[in-house]
Structure 1
Amino acid sequence: MSGYDETFDWVVVGSGAGAMTSALVMRQAGKSVLVLEKTPYVGGTTAKSGGVIWVPNNRLMQQAGDVDSTEAGIAYLEALAENLPGSTPEKRRTYVVESQRMIDFLIAQGIELARGADFWPDYYDEAPGGCKTTRTLTARYFNKAELGREWAARLRPGFVSQPAMLSEGLKLAWVGRSWTIKLLLLRIGLRVIAGKLTGKQWVSAGAALQGRLLKAVLAAGAEVRVDSLVTRLVTEGDRVAGVEAEVDGRPRRIAARHGVLVNAGGFARNQAMRDRFMPGTQAAWSNTAEGDTGDLHAEMERIGAALGQMDQMVGYQMTRMPGWEQAFVKPPAQSLTGKPGAILVDQSGQRYMNEGGSYELYCQTMFERDQTVPAIPSWAIFDARFARLYPIAGVRMAKHYQQWKDSGYLKEADSLAGLAAQIGVPAAALEATVARWNGFVDAGHDADFGRGGRAYDQWLGDPFLKPNPALGRIDEGPFYAVDVVPGDVSTYGGAVTDERARVLRADGSPIGGLYACGVSSASVMGGVYVGAGASIGPSLTFGYLAARDAAGLHNAP
C-alpha cells in the first residue's frame, strides 16, 4: 500500500482486553498486528479494575457443576435490556453464544482464568434467567516479572499487588469474624513471603488479566507500542485503510490491510463531552484511566459512524472523604450503603431507592431523583454499631475519625435530629425515615424498595447476619452521615456496531475496515449493567469477533 510509512494486517487503537484478544486471534490466523496505546501504560481502565468477566454458561461454571444454560443467559438479557442502537436481540444472542467460545479461545492461548467466586450473583438475579451463584470469571494472579523488566514497567498498575484472587480479597473484609478467613489470610501471607524470596512481582484483578494478555500477545509476535497517539482514521473511498499516529512524538502513517479496531476506552475524562452528552456528571468523580478522553469517539463520528447510548455511564457511587481527589480508586460507597444498618437519603431526608443492587442503577436513580428533589449529594446514614462493624469505603472509621471530623467530611450527632441539622435536612423527616426503616428490619422486609429480597442484595450485605444479611437497624448513637455522589467506572456509549463488531453508519451500513469494542462502542447490554463484568465480557467477546470477521473467520465454528 503506497503513501504509508509501514503496513500491518491489523491495527488496534488502545490496549484494553478486547484489543489484546483481537491481536491473539489475528496472530493465530498468521496476520501481522500493531497495537497502539497513547499512554505510557498498557491495559487501560481494565487494568485498574477488578478485571471481572461476565459470561453465562461458561466452561468453568460447567466444570464446577453449576447449573446454567445459553438459553437462560439469553432470557436474562432479553428480560432486562432495551432495544437501543448498540443492543439488538441478534447482538445480545451473539454475545451470549460467542462469549463462551471466546473464553475457550483464551484458555487455549494459555490465559489462566478462574471463577470470580462461588457466590457473586447477577445484579438482577430475580429476573427470568438470572443467576444466583455466579457467571463471573477473573484472571489468576500474575507475576508481572514474567513480562521482563521493560514490559513489566509498562503494565498499568492495578489496585491489588498481592498473590490473591479477587474472590479471596473480597473475603478478607470479614477476617475478624471467621477462622476460615483468618487461615486464608495466613495462606496469602505465606504466598507474599515466598514471592519476595523468589523475586515475584505479583498483581491481581484487572492488572493480572491485562498482564496475562500482554504476555500472550508479545509471545505471539504482535507489536505493541506505547506513547502512540492515533490522531486520524485514514479512509480510502468508503473504507478505513489505516491510521495516522504520533509514535514517540513522530508522525506516522500506518496502513491496515484487514482493518482497524478501536478499543480506546470511553470519554469519562472529557468534561466537555460529558457536558454535551450527559450534563450534570463529573469527570472528577470517574475511576477511569487518564487516557479515557473520547478522542476516537469524535474521530469515528467524523468519518460517518453513528454514535449511540452516549447519555449512559457505568455509575459507581463514591463518597468524598479527605484525599479522594488524588485517590487511585475513588472511595466506593456501594459497600457502605449496601451493608445492614446504613441507608441513603436525599436532601429532604427521604429514602428513594434500594441501596443494594446494581451500582449503575444506583447512580442512574440518583440523577433521576435529583430532577425533582435535590439528591446530589445524598447522605449515607448509619450508627455507632455500623461504624464498629463495617468499613467506610474500605477503611475503618476509628483510624481516621479525627481527620474526618476536622475536615467536615464526617457528620456526627448524639441524636437523629442533631444529625439532620448538620446535613441540612428536616429533622422530622430523617427521624421518620429511620423509624420506617427500623420497622422494615423488624418485619424482615423492606416494603418500600425490596432491599434484601434478591441474592445480590444479600451478597452486598453481612454474610454473618441472620436472617437477612442486608437488613440492620439504625438505633445506637451516636449517629453519622457522609456524602455520596454518582461516580463512574466508565461511560457506556460509543460507535454503534453490529454482531460482528463492525462500526455502522446512521443508515445501518458498515464502514468497511472499521471495528470497535469495549466502551468505544455502544453497549450490547442496552442501558443495563447486568452483572459484574458486563463491560469487560463484551470487550473481550467483540474484540474476538472483530478479528475473526476481519480475518475471514466469522463463519467458522
Structure 2
Amino acid sequence: MSAPDFDETYDWVVVGSGAGAFVSGLVMRAAGHSVLVLEKTAYAGGTTAKSGGVMWIPANPFMQAEGETDTIEQAETYLDALQNLDGGVAPGTSPGKRRAYLENGPRAIDFLLGQGVRLRRGAQFWPDYYDELPGGCKTSRTVVAEPFDTKQLGPMRRRLRKGFAEFNVLLADAAKVGHARTNPDAKKMLARIALRTVRDKLLGRAYTTAGAALQGRLFKAGLEAGVEIRFDSAVTDLLCEEGRVTGVEVAGDPAPRRIGARLGVLVNAGGFGKNQEMRERYMPGTRVEWSLVPEGDTGDLHRAMEAVGAQLAQMDQMVGFQATIPPGTENAYVLPGAQSLTGKPHAILVDQTGQRYMNEGGSYELYCETMLRRNREVPAVPSWAIFDAQFTAKYKVADTFIDRKIPPGWLETGYLHKADTIAELATSIGVYAGALSATVDRWNGFVRQGRDEDFARGERAYDGCHFVGDPYSEEPSRGTIAKAPFYAVPVVPGDVSTYGGAVTDEYARVLRADGSVIEGLYATGTSTASVMGNVYAGAGASIGPSLTFGFIAARHAAGLDTATAARAPQAAVVEPAA
C-alpha cells in the first residue's frame, strides 16, 4: 500500500512498551525522528514493570568504575559455553548475534546515563547462573535502576504499571532483609527503610523499585524526549508493501486505524504467557494461572509476525518462576515464589514418587524446565518442597513465618502438610514412605559429608547468594532435614514470561525461515527467540537483551553506526538509594 492509504505516519512505530521500546524511542528522538509507542493495555511497562528489573550487561561501566576487569571476551566465552549445555543449536542465537549483544549492551547503558536515566550496579553478589563455566562471573554483571519517585510522572503516573515492591529500597537490600532471622543487620536495615518511608510520605513522594523503577525512569525520559504513547491500542496486523513492513493496523471503534512507519516497526510486545491455547501447543503442562505476566501477553504479535513470514523458534522456552500457591493467593498480583524455599538450608524438592531430581539452588529457568522434563517421566507437577523445624525457625514459607502460627486454611485445604516423622509426612502427601525416607536420609548424608554427590548443590557461587540460599548461614545452601515437625508444600513451574518468538539477526531484524530479512520489521524482548539460546545466563538475561536490541534496532533503522567503537563512558557513580 502507498503512504496516502495510512491514516497517519510516523518515522518509528513501536508495538509494546517494555524496556526495549523506550530505549529505541530515545535513540530515535535523539536522531530527530518521530516515535509512536502503541500499548495494548492501559499501562506502560509490560512484564518488566512486574519483574526485578535486572539487566545482564557484562563489562558494564559500573563494573569498570569499581575496578572489576570483566571483558566482552570473557562474557563471550561464557555464552559460548552455555550453548554446549543444551546439546543443540538454537535458531535465536549465533556467534555474531551474541557478539553484537555484548558489544552494544555497555553502549546502551552509556546512552541511557547520558539521557539522565539513573542506573547503578545490581547486587555485587549476584553471580551468573552457571558461574563455574569458563568466563562465568562470581560477582555480578547486573545493572538496575535507582528507586523511582512515581510523582515525577505527573498525571501520567497512573499509566505506569504497578511493580511488586512500592518502596524506596533496592532489590538487593530487600533480599537481605528477607533473611531477618539470620542476618544480624536486618533490623537496622528495616529501621532505615521505615524511616525513609516516613520521610518520603511527609515529602509527598511515592517510590517504587525494581522493574517498575526501571520502566518509570524510561517512561519519564521518553515523555520528556517527545516519544508519543497511546494506550488501549491493540495492534491487529502488520501492514506490508512488496514484502516490506510499512506500518501497522490498530483496533478501533468504529473502524481500525492504519499507521505508517517510514523507518520501521519494532515489536516489543512481550510473550504469550496469558494464552492457554498457545501454551498447550508449545509448552504442554504449563498453566496461565501460574504466569506472572500482565493481561496483555497473549501472543498477538507472535502470530502477526508469523503471518508476514517470520520464523518462530524456541517456543517451548520460558523464564521459569517456581511458585507455591497458598489458599487465598491464587489471584495475587505476584505469586509467592519458591526459589528461596527449596534453595535454602534444610529443604529439598522431590517428585511425586519421593525422589529428588535436581540442584534446587540452580537458576529458576532450569528449575522449571527440569520439573517439566521430569514430569514426562514420572509425576512431578506439582513437586513437593520438603523441610523441617530448623527451616521454619529461620525462613519464610510463601512469604510467611509459620513456626509460631500457621495461616488459616493452609492445613485444612491440604496446601501445607505437617507431621512428626518423615514416614507420616510421606503418607500425608501420597508418597511411598520408604522412598521419601531414603531420599531424606541420603540428603542428610550429603550434608554431613559436605558434598551433594547427586546434583552438586552448593558448589556454585550462585547457590548461596541472597536470592536463593542463605549467605548468613554457616552452610549457605545445604542443611539437614532432621528436626520435627516436618513439612511439605506443593511447587509448580510458573513463569515470569515465555522465552521464544521471532528469530532476529544481529541488527534485531526479523528473519524468515530461509534466513532472509523481512525489511522494515524489527523485534526485541520476549517477542523474540532469545539470544541466550535455550539457557538463561544470569539475572536480567531477558531484560538486558530487550533493552540492548531495542537500542541496536533503532540505530540500524536510523542509519546510525552499530559497530563497536571506543567508548567514552558516562560517569558511573554508585549512589545510595534516595
Tell me if TM exceeds 0.5: yes
Counterpart selection for 1:516 from 509, 519, 523: 523
Question: In structure 1, what is the Cα distance between the partners aligned to 2:78 and 2:562?
Answer: 26
Report deviation, 1:178.
3.8
Question: In structure 2, what is the Cα distance between the partners aligned to 1:452 and 1:555?
Answer: 41
What is the letter of the counterpart of residue 205 of structure 1?
Answer: A
Confirm or deny: 8 A CA contact 2:324 2:336 kept in the other structure.
yes
Question: In structure 2, what is the Cα distance between the partners aligned to 1:304 and 1:408?
Answer: 49
2:162 is the counterpart of 1:157:
yes
Report deviation, 1:324.
3.0
- Partner of 2:376 in structure 1? 371
What is the letter of the counterpart of residue 539 of structure 2?
Answer: A
Provide Cα deviations, 1:302-326, integer angstroms capped at 9, x if missing partner.
Answer: 0111111111111111112112321
Question: In structure 1, what is the Cα distance between the partners aligned to 2:296 and 2:307?
Answer: 20
- Partner of 2:127 in structure 1? 121
What is the letter of the counterpart of residue 176 of structure 2?
Answer: K
Matches for 1:338-353 after TM superposition, within 5 Å: 338-353=343-358
Counterpart selection for 1:295 from 276, 293, 300: 300
Report deviation, 1:403.
2.5
Provide Cα deviations, 1:62-88, integer angstroms capped at 9, x if missing partner.
Answer: 111223111111000000025311111
Confirm or deny: 8 A CA contact 1:24 1:220 kept in the other structure.
yes
Counterpart selection for 2:558 from 546, 551, 554: 551
Confirm or deny: 8 A CA contact 1:43 1:210 kept in the other structure.
yes
Question: In structure 2, what is the Cα distance between the partners aligned to 1:527 and 1:427?
Answer: 36
2:235 is the counterpart of 1:230:
yes
Question: In structure 2, what is the Cα distance between the partners aligned to 1:64 and 1:182?
Answer: 28
Counterpart selection for 1:407 from 404, 413, 423: 413
Matches for 1:197-276 after TM superposition, within 5 Å: 197-246=202-251, 251-276=256-281
- Partner of 1:174 in structure 2? 179
Counterpart selection for 1:438 from 439, 444, 451: 444
- Partner of 1:530 in structure 2? 537
- Partner of 1:16 in structure 2? 18
2:42 is the counterpart of 1:40:
yes
Question: In structure 2, what is the Cα distance between the partners aligned to 1:250 and 1:53?
Answer: 39
Q: Would the alpha carbon gap of residues 177 and 497 (structure 1) be closer, same or farther in structure 2, given more than 3 Å must change?
A: same
- Partner of 2:325 in structure 1? 320
Q: Secondary structure at the match of 1:325?
A: coil
- Partner of 1:426 in structure 2? 432
- Partner of 1:31 in structure 2? 33
Q: Secondary structure at the match of 1:326?
A: coil
- Partner of 1:76 in structure 2? 78
Q: Would the alpha carbon gap of residues 491 and 3 (structure 1) be closer, same or farther in structure 2, given more than 3 Å must change?
A: same
Confirm or deny: 8 A CA contact 1:228 1:248 kept in the other structure.
no
Question: In structure 1, what is the Cα distance between the partners aligned to 2:544 and 2:516?
Answer: 25
Question: In structure 2, what is the Cα distance between the partners aligned to 1:117 and 1:379?
Answer: 30
What is the letter of the counterpart of residue 8 of structure 2?
Answer: E
Report deviation, 1:179.
4.3
- Partner of 1:361 in structure 2? 366
Counterpart selection for 1:390 from 381, 386, 395: 395
Confirm or deny: 8 A CA contact 1:172 1:185 kept in the other structure.
yes
Confirm or deny: 8 A CA contact 1:83 1:89 kept in the other structure.
no
Question: In structure 2, what is the Cα distance between the partners aligned to 1:195 and 1:465?
Answer: 34
Q: Alignment identity in percent? A: 61
Confirm or deny: 8 A CA contact 1:501 1:546 kept in the other structure.
yes
Per mean C-alpha deviation after superposition, the further-off stretch among 311-320 and 400-409 is: 400-409
Q: Secondary structure at the match of 1:483?
A: strand
Question: In structure 2, what is the Cα distance between the partners aligned to 1:156 and 1:244?
Answer: 24
- Partner of 1:447 in structure 2? 453
- Partner of 1:479 in structure 2? 486
Confirm or deny: 8 A CA contact 1:348 1:425 kept in the other structure.
yes
2:196 is the counterpart of 1:191:
yes
2:548 is the counterpart of 1:541:
yes
- Partner of 1:4 in structure 2? 6
Provide Cα deviations, 1:249-292, integer angstroms capped at 9, x if missing partner.
Answer: 75211100000000000011101111111222111110111111
Provide Cα deviations, 1:348-390, integer angstroms capped at 9, x if missing partner.
Answer: 1111111011111111111111111111111000011111210
Confirm or deny: 8 A CA contact 1:339 1:462 kept in the other structure.
yes
Report deviation, 1:495.
0.5
Q: TM-score, normalised by structure 2?
A: 0.94
2:62 is the counterpart of 1:60:
yes
- Partner of 1:496 in structure 2? 503
Question: In structure 2, what is the Cα distance between the partners aligned to 1:402 and 1:539?
Answer: 42
What's the RMSD between the two structures over aligned residues?
A: 1.2
Q: Secondary structure at the match of 2:489?
A: strand
Provide Cα deviations, 1:118-166, integer angstroms capped at 9, x if missing partner.
Answer: 10111000011000000111100000110002x1000000001111011
Confirm or deny: 8 A CA contact 1:123 1:456 kept in the other structure.
yes
What is the letter of the counterpart of residue 551 of structure 2?
Answer: Y
Question: In structure 1, what is the Cα distance between the partners aligned to 2:25 and 2:405?
Answer: 46
Report deviation, 1:186.
1.9
Confirm or deny: 8 A CA contact 2:342 2:385 kept in the other structure.
yes
Question: In structure 1, what is the Cα distance between the partners aligned to 2:535 and 2:398?
Answer: 24
2:291 is the counterpart of 1:283:
no
Structure with more helix by fraction: 1
Q: Would the alpha carbon gap of residues 247 and 171 (structure 1) be closer, same or farther in structure 2, given more than 3 Å must change?
A: farther
Question: In structure 2, what is the Cα distance between the partners aligned to 1:242 and 1:510?
Answer: 16
Provide Cα deviations, 1:27-84, integer angstroms capped at 9, x if missing partner.
Answer: 0000000000010000001000000000111100111122311111100000002531
Question: In structure 2, what is the Cα distance between the partners aligned to 1:464 and 1:266?
Answer: 37
Q: Would the alpha carbon gap of residues 178 and 279 (structure 1) be closer, same or farther in structure 2, given more than 3 Å must change?
A: closer
Per mean C-alpha deviation after superposition, the further-off stretch among 455-464 and 214-223 is: 455-464
Provide Cα deviations, 1:330-364, integer angstroms capped at 9, x if missing partner.
Answer: 11110000000000011111111110111111111
Q: Would the alpha carbon gap of residues 127 and 249 (structure 1) be closer, same or farther in structure 2, given more than 3 Å must change?
A: farther
Question: In structure 1, what is the Cα distance between the partners aligned to 2:253 and 2:186?
Answer: 48
- Partner of 1:461 in structure 2? 469
Question: In structure 2, what is the Cα distance between the partners aligned to 1:125 and 1:63?
Answer: 22
Q: Secondary structure at the match of 1:171?
A: helix
Confirm or deny: 8 A CA contact 1:234 1:243 kept in the other structure.
yes
Confirm or deny: 8 A CA contact 2:53 2:543 kept in the other structure.
yes
2:148 is the counterpart of 1:134:
no
What is the letter of the counterpart of residue 90 of structure 1?
Answer: G
Q: Would the alpha carbon gap of residues 306 and 554 (structure 1) be closer, same or farther in structure 2, given more than 3 Å must change?
A: farther
Provide Cα deviations, 1:497-544, integer angstroms capped at 9, x if missing partner.
Answer: 000000001111110100000000100000001100000000000000
Question: In structure 2, what is the Cα distance between the partners aligned to 1:74 and 1:399?
Answer: 49
Q: Secondary structure at the match of 1:512?
A: strand
- Partner of 2:109 in structure 1? 103
Report deviation, 1:177.
3.4
Q: Secondary structure at the match of 2:505?
A: coil
Provide Cα deviations, 1:166-190, integer angstroms capped at 9, x if missing partner.
Answer: 1111111123434433222222222
Q: TM-score, normalised by structure 1?
A: 0.98
Question: In structure 1, what is the Cα distance between the partners aligned to 2:128 and 2:171?
Answer: 17
Q: Would the alpha carbon gap of residues 75 and 432 (structure 1) be closer, same or farther in structure 2, given more than 3 Å must change?
A: same
Report deviation, 1:247.
5.2
